[in-house]
Amino acid sequence: MPVLLVECPDQRGLVHAISGVLLRHDCNVVGNQEFVDAASGRFYMRTEFDGPQAVEVDGKVDGVGERIVSETQAALPAGARVRLARPGPKRIVVLASREHHCLGDLLIRHQFGGIQARIEAVLSNHAELGDLVAKFGVPFHHVPAEGMDRAAHEAAVSAILEPIGPEFLVLAKYMRVLSPAFVARYPSRIINIHHSFLPAFIGARPYHQAFQRGVKVIGATAHLVTDDLDAGPILVQQVIPVDHTHAAEDLVRAGRDVEQFVLAQALRLVFEDRVFLAGNRTVIFD
Amino acid sequence: MPVLLVECPDQRGLVHAISGVLLRHDCNVVGNQEFVDAASGRFYMRTEFDGPQAVEVDGKVDGVGERIVSETQAALPAGARVRLARPGPKRIVVLASREHHCLGDLLIRHQFGGIQARIEAVLSNHAELGDLVAKFGVPFHHVPAEGMDRAAHEAAVSAILEPIGPEFLVLAKYMRVLSPAFVARYPSRIINIHHSFLPAFIGARPYHQAFQRGVKVIGATAHLVTDDLDAGPILVQQVIPVDHTHAAEDLVRAGRDVEQFVLAQALRLVFEDRVFLAGNRTVIFD
Amino acid sequence: MPVLLVECPDQRGLVHAISGVLLRHDCNVVGNQEFVDAASGRFYMRTEFDGPQAVEVDGKVDGVGERIVSETQAALPAGARVRLARPGPKRIVVLASREHHCLGDLLIRHQFGGIQARIEAVLSNHAELGDLVAKFGVPFHHVPAEGMDRAAHEAAVSAILEPIGPEFLVLAKYMRVLSPAFVARYPSRIINIHHSFLPAFIGARPYHQAFQRGVKVIGATAHLVTDDLDAGPILVQQVIPVDHTHAAEDLVRAGRDVEQFVLAQALRLVFEDRVFLAGNRTVIFD
Amino acid sequence: MPVLLVECPDQRGLVHAISGVLLRHDCNVVGNQEFVDAASGRFYMRTEFDGPQAVEVDGKVDGVGERIVSETQAALPAGARVRLARPGPKRIVVLASREHHCLGDLLIRHQFGGIQARIEAVLSNHAELGDLVAKFGVPFHHVPAEGMDRAAHEAAVSAILEPIGPEFLVLAKYMRVLSPAFVARYPSRIINIHHSFLPAFIGARPYHQAFQRGVKVIGATAHLVTDDLDAGPILVQQVIPVDHTHAAEDLVRAGRDVEQFVLAQALRLVFEDRVFLAGNRTVIFD
């Protein structure tokens, strides 16, 4: 089903204007969600609609989709951002390191059509997960980082990524810090699973930090990556209860199950075009 | 903030039509949620809007609110139900029996303006909670049921309720079954907290049933009351984990905390006009 | 670490007697959990202990483990059941049908040593999952049921299972009902993931039942299999919130994530010898 | 039921020794929980037991309880801490400021015997809650802080507390920082409800911090108070999901329900003598 995504300064009549464009093209609004951020005065809207077949298959084919976008744009205040979500699965690359649980879960889901994406490749700074990836017939690229500085390693990573041209990068426990320059190439298009309940326990070994602090709940955070490590807009968070019998290693183990669950939820939201950025916060229409 | 509530058969252009009415009256849509129930083809919409002061204070004073309703009605297909939520707290009566926890929580919240309602009276078939209610200066009516059949007791209850004319009845652990005739007087206007995780453990002593079954989670259900006992449309459900160390009495105790929490959530949803009925299901815009 | 498991009628001095046996064999209690079921007057105890190396490696090698068991037995009232958990992974067979999510999760975990078991084989009444299983080098047996009555199919299944001699069967969305005769061959040794929050929605198509009922929470139940379908002792239950926007198919999809999570938790509990049966309830020391 | 609490360096035979003392006094262990903290090598044990009536009513009356404690102490390594939980409700004082929700919940529970404590008094640095407290017949002390430095105010508070001699202080949204000197008078005997999910959002206005950060889950933390503000041993944590539609004020409101729930859980654990301190962590036998 086509999805229209609109973001602009709030003013009177926006819903009427946007729904008018769809109506003129014989489209029927099936689901509509909107939100006005009171602090910024910004309007966000996600509209699922039924329309003539040409729109549904691919808005661009006969120009109906393009006309909907351009007419919506014309009906809105300056600075509006309007787009029609491209139908079909997103093209992604998964970056991993040594831990298998998030990657394994994605590969299984991918194999059976359970994520709205096509994994074009998996890339890792370690070789260990190559066998797992190979089982699923997905290309695996081992880009070791030993003896390289960050820039050199990222150049090697980019050399793999560029011919693929992925829409999104998924960091499935990729344990390397990305440079601002690298991140800038994929603005709001890198999804990370952070192995802690942000903003608690930022930095290294969060489960050991959590153990030291004696928390009764641990959790994981999926977020979009920005320059500020551990501080990008949050997509999904979830927690599980723990107690004094959990050693740090037990927290790590328990945490993996949550990480895997949280990352899968976040990817669904992003790949179904349900996420808007509002400064460093997300507006999610689910 | 005024809230417009619309329910009608789905068809093309509804959002445009409704937002057009608001626009003509210089109203700005601040939040809009809608849902089309695919099974029934029915459209539900809840719109919060800013408008001229007359609408905000009380839509009826100068007729702006009434005109919005009637014009919206005129713009929609036959069978549409349109209303503007009345501003201000709902007028309610709470019915209880012997257990204090839900009632106590409501009285505290009420005392400090924490529910969007005014408790006009508390009525109980037992006398025990009278002292508690008196502390808060709320009228308490003891309507004993001993030696009465159901019809006679309900007549006595109704004799108290009728002069009050409450918009909603809240059953805060009221342990008597209401007759269809009584329920019919408050259609979709009686909220019950059911001491189990419906539809598991319907009927009497649900926590003892849960204990016997060895469940690892117990919960409570807030629902609207219909003729079919334990089967009305569900508003809120929540659960907590339990284990083998919980005797039936421990489940009862743990359950109370959830009941109290769930009932408070449900009342907020109802009293903020966030609930539509869709057959035996609820559509809740929160 | 060796684990001693004791179950017997409660009486004074049990802890003292059991800990005395361990002390005489130079063993140190590291973790001890016990529970007296007040209703049945039955005592359950699970003791993790450090001991001489012979005990740790394999209690049976030099007889130390056997002596601990027999001396504990002698120190307890008649009817006591005493055993030392066998070290090392359990030997299991997974039964599946067409759905991949629970099986896929187990295969990934198994591949990386994440469950305390060795999957000796996967058996399915359908062929579809064969390719997935083959990726992981685990034997796959397709035992179609078409044109067979239940007894004949179970005989074919048993013909596969008997040479393997698994300690546990894991039903990972195996959609066939097992006969009492079959179940009796694996007493308390078949773990099932039930695609609903028991005892709500027993029987077929539970998510569709849940949708019809309009519940606000769905969940999954892992349980041990008994003759009484859907009524065996519960191991783990968990739920997730849902709302009116979830069609029945959405509940199915959301439910899969919970099923997968719940089954993995349950297997850990069983395979780490943390579960006692107490009638139709479980006592779980976690 | 009497509860024996033991903490000492771990060594072989502790369970046997302790259970031996109870056996000699004709006591039957009904529930026993123990834990060895691997990092510190420390042993913690909580034993509920049935015994001769003299022990149950009050261990001290005829000396049986005292003998159990002293004999247990003698049987354990140097540095052991042994105590028999005093039967009956704890004597507490509740400190509050302006917010009513935690205090109100405690007063209701207290009124109906729902906490294992007797509230000797409520003390606040503001006058507003006096009326609420008065409804329940509990003494209320208004100790204003205006124009006083912290030492002077705490002296005034202590002048109220000292004649009462409470076993525990409960900070039910008491918004003043306590000095180390004050805290030292109630070692591990002050319970605080922290209005955030520690260690995220320490300091002032945590819900506003949470809003700024765009978190998808908020929570509350009950903890024991130490000198290090916001860093004492954690008793209970719980969270609820939130989303972009929650303004900071909505988070505050939602947070209150969690705070109230979490504080009540924590008080039950402390007042039932289920909590041991292990450095800055808690060992909780529930």
The ipTM is 0.91
User: Cβ(A31)–Cβ(A45) under 8 Å?
Assistant: no
Element (H, E) at A222: strand A217-224
Q: Is the pLDDT confidence value at D53 over 50? A: yes
C178-225 tens-digit pLDDT: 999 999 999 999 999 998 888 888 878 888 888 888 999 999 999 999
Put simply, the answer to whether C34 touches D36 (Cβ < 8 Å) is no
User: Cβ(C93)–Cβ(C161) under 8 Å?
Assistant: yes
* CA B262 – CA C216 distance, rounded (Å): 12
Say if domain C90-284 classifies as CATH 3.40.50.170: yes
Total residue count of chain C as it appears in this document: 286
| Distance from the Cα of residue C232 to its chain's centroid | 11
Which residues from chain B sit within 8 angstroms of residue C239, using beta carbons? 217, 219, 239
Q: Is the pLDDT confidence value at B4 over 80? A: yes
Residue range D17-27: mean pLDDT, rounded: 93
Q: What is the DSSP string of D258-281?
A: HHHHHHHHHHHHHHTT-EEEETTE
Total residue count of chain A as it appears in this document: 286
Calculate the CA dihedral of residues A91, A97, A98, A100 and round it to 10 degrees. -20
* CA B274 – CA C201 distance, rounded (Å): 28
A203 lies within 8 A of chain D by CB: no
- Per-residue burial over C118-129, b if 16 or more Cβ lie within 10 Å, else e, is ebbbbbbbbeeb
Tokens representing D272?
Answer: 């039932």
Q: Is the pLDDT confidence value at D136 over 70? A: yes
Which residues from chain A sit within 8 angstroms of residue B20, using beta carbons? 16
* CA B241 – CA B263 distance, rounded (Å): 19
- Crossing angle of the two packed helices B248-271 and B206-213, in degrees rounded to 10: 120
User: Cβ(D103)–Cβ(D129) under 8 Å?
Assistant: yes
Q: Is the pLDDT confidence value at C233 over 90? A: yes
Query: In whole numbers, what is the pLDDT of chain B averaged over residues?
Result: 92
Please give, rounded to a whole number of angstroms, the shortest distance from the CA of A21 to a CA of chain D.
27
C22-45 tens-digit pLDDT: 999 999 888 888 899 888 899 999
Put simply, the answer to whether B19 touches A23 (Cβ < 8 Å) is no
Query: Hey, which residues 21-40 in chain B have their CB within 8 Å of chain A?
Result: 22-23, 26-36
Q: Is the pLDDT confidence value at A260 over 80? A: yes
* pLDDT score, position B134: 98
Find the radius of gyration of the CA atoms of chain A. 21
Neighbours of A92 (CB within 10 A): 26
B116 lies within 8 A of chain A by CB: no
- Give me the residue label for tokens 């198509």: C205
Q: Which of B117, B123, B77, B128 is nearest to B96 (CA)?
A: B123
* CA D125 – CA D141 distance, rounded (Å): 9
DSSP β-ladder status, A190-194 and A217-224: antiparallel
Please give, rounded to a whole number of angstroms, the shortest distance from the CA of C217 to a CA of chain D.
14
First-to-last CA distance in chain A? 15
The burial of B146, by beta-carbon neighbours within 10 Å (0-12 exposed, 13-18 middle, 19 or more buried), is given as exposed
Q: Which of A151-160, C50-59, D151-160, D219-228 has the lowest mean pLDDT?
A: C50-59
User: Cβ(C8)–Cβ(C35) under 8 Å?
Assistant: no
* pLDDT score, position C228: 81
Put simply, the answer to whether A213 touches D219 (Cβ < 8 Å) is no
Concerning whether D230 is annotated as a catalytic residue, the answer is yes
Q: Which of C104-113, D80-89, D194-203 has the lowest mean pLDDT?
A: D194-203
Q: Which of A166, A170, A18 is nearest to A83 (CA)?
A: A18
DSSP β-ladder status, B168-171 and B90-96: parallel
* pLDDT score, position A61: 46
* pLDDT score, position C61: 46
In order of A110, A121, A136, C104, the CA distances from C129 in angstroms are 15, 23, 13, 9
Tokens representing D226?
Answer: 């130490």
Residues 6+ apart with CB under 8 A from C272: C3, C116
Please give, rounded to a whole number of angstroms, the shortest distance from the CA of C151 to a CA of chain D.
46
pLDDT, greater one: D157 or D248: D157
Put simply, the answer to whether D19 touches C16 (Cβ < 8 Å) is yes
Tokens representing B171?
Answer: 């059953």
* pLDDT score, position B55: 60
* pLDDT score, position B58: 52
Please give, rounded to a whole number of angstroms, the shortest distance from the CA of D104 to a CA of chain B.
6
- For the domain made up of C3-84, give the CATH fold: Alpha-Beta Plaits (3.30.70)
- Among chain B residues, the shortest Cα distance to D238 is held by B240
- Longest Cα pair distance anywhere in chain C, in angstroms? 63
- Among chain D residues, the shortest Cα distance to A235 is held by D216
> Could you give the percent of chain B with pLDDT greater than 90?
75
A217 lies within 8 A of chain D by CB: yes
Residues 6+ apart with CB under 8 A from A138: A107, A110, A119, A121, A122
Q: Which of C260, C285, C286 to mutate to test the interface with A (most CBs of A within 10 A)?
A: C260
Tokens representing C268?
Answer: 């850990």
* SS3 state of residue A60: coil
Neighbours of C164 (CB within 10 A): 14
Q: How many helices (H) and strands (E) does chain B have?
A: 9, 13
- Give me the residue label for tokens 């016997």: B212
Which residues from chain A sit within 8 angstroms of residue B239, using beta carbons? none
- Among chain A residues, the shortest Cα distance to C111 is held by A132
Residues 6+ apart with CB under 8 A from B280: B226, B231, B232, B233, C212, C213, C214
Q: Would the CA dihedral through A253, A254, A259, A265 be positive or negative? A: positive
Q: Which of A27, A34, A36 is nearest to A69 (CA)?
A: A27
**Given D230, D243, D257, D273, which residue is catalytic?**
D230
Residue range D186-190: mean pLDDT, rounded: 95
Q: Is the pLDDT confidence value at C55 over 70? A: no
Put simply, the answer to whether B281 touches C214 (Cβ < 8 Å) is yes
* CA D18 – CA D15 distance, rounded (Å): 5
Element (H, E) at B276: strand B275-278
In SS3 terms, D3-70 reads as: EEEEEEECCCCHHHHHHHHHHHCCCEEEEEEEEEECCCCEEEEEEEEECCHHHHHHCCCCCHHHHHHH
C281 lies within 8 A of chain B by CB: yes
* pLDDT score, position D54: 54
Q: Which of A38-52, A123-137, D132-146 has the lowest mean pLDDT?
A: A38-52
Subunits close to D (at least 3 CB pairs below 8 A)? A, B, C
DSSP β-ladder status, D281-284 and D275-278: antiparallel
Q: Is the pLDDT confidence value at C166 over 80? A: yes
Query: In whole numbers, what is the pLDDT of chain D averaged over residues?
Result: 92
* pLDDT score, position C142: 98
* pLDDT score, position D59: 47
Which residues from chain D sit within 8 angstroms of residue B109, using beta carbons? 101
* CA B234 – CA A156 distance, rounded (Å): 55
Residue range D225-230: mean pLDDT, rounded: 84
DSSP β-ladder status, D117-124 and D140-142: parallel
Q: Grade residue B38 by pLDDT with cuts at 50, 70 and 90.
A: confident
Q: Which of B70-79, B229-238, D180-189 has the lowest mean pLDDT?
A: B229-238
Residue range A146-156: mean pLDDT, rounded: 96
Query: In whole numbers, what is the pLDDT of chain A averaged over residues?
Result: 92
Annotated active-site positions of A, please?
230
First-to-last CA distance in chain D? 15
In SS3 terms, chain C reads as: CCEEEEEEECCCCHHHHHHHHHHHCCCEEEEEEEEEECCCCEEEEEEEEECCHHHHHCCCCCCHHHHHHHHHHHHCCCCCEEEECCCCCEEEEEEECCCCHHHHHHHHHHHCCCCCEEEEEEEECCCCCHHHHHHCCCCEEECCCCCCCHHHHHHHHHHHHHHHCCCEEEECCCCCCCCHHHHHCCCCCEEEEECCCCCCCCCCCHHHHHHHHCCCEEEEEEEECCCCCCCCCEEEEEEEECCCCCCHHHHHHHHHHHHHHHHHHHHHHHHCCCEEEECCEEEECC
* Minimum-distance CB partner of A257 among C101, C264, C286: C264
Which residues from chain D sit within 8 angstroms of residue C30, using beta carbons? 36
Q: Is the pLDDT confidence value at C263 over 80? A: yes
pTM over 0.90, yes/no: yes
The Cα angle at residue A238 between residues A237 and A244, in degrees rounded to 5? 130
Neighbours of D70 (CB within 10 A): 13
Q: What is the domain partition of chain D in residue ranges?
A: 3-84, 90-284
Residue range C34-63: mean pLDDT, rounded: 77
Query: In whole numbers, what is the pLDDT of chain C averaged over residues?
Result: 92
D251-269 tens-digit pLDDT: 999 999 999 999 999 999 9
* pLDDT score, position A206: 85
The Cα angle at residue A217 between residues A212 and A221, in degrees rounded to 5? 100
- Give me the residue label for tokens 């409660």: C10
Which residues from chain B sit within 8 angstroms of residue A23, using beta carbons? 12-13, 16
Annotated active-site positions of C, please?
230
Which residues from chain C sit within 8 angstroms of residue D16, using beta carbons? 16, 19-20, 22-23
Query: Hey, which residues 37-96 in chain A have their CB within 8 Å of chain C?
Result: none
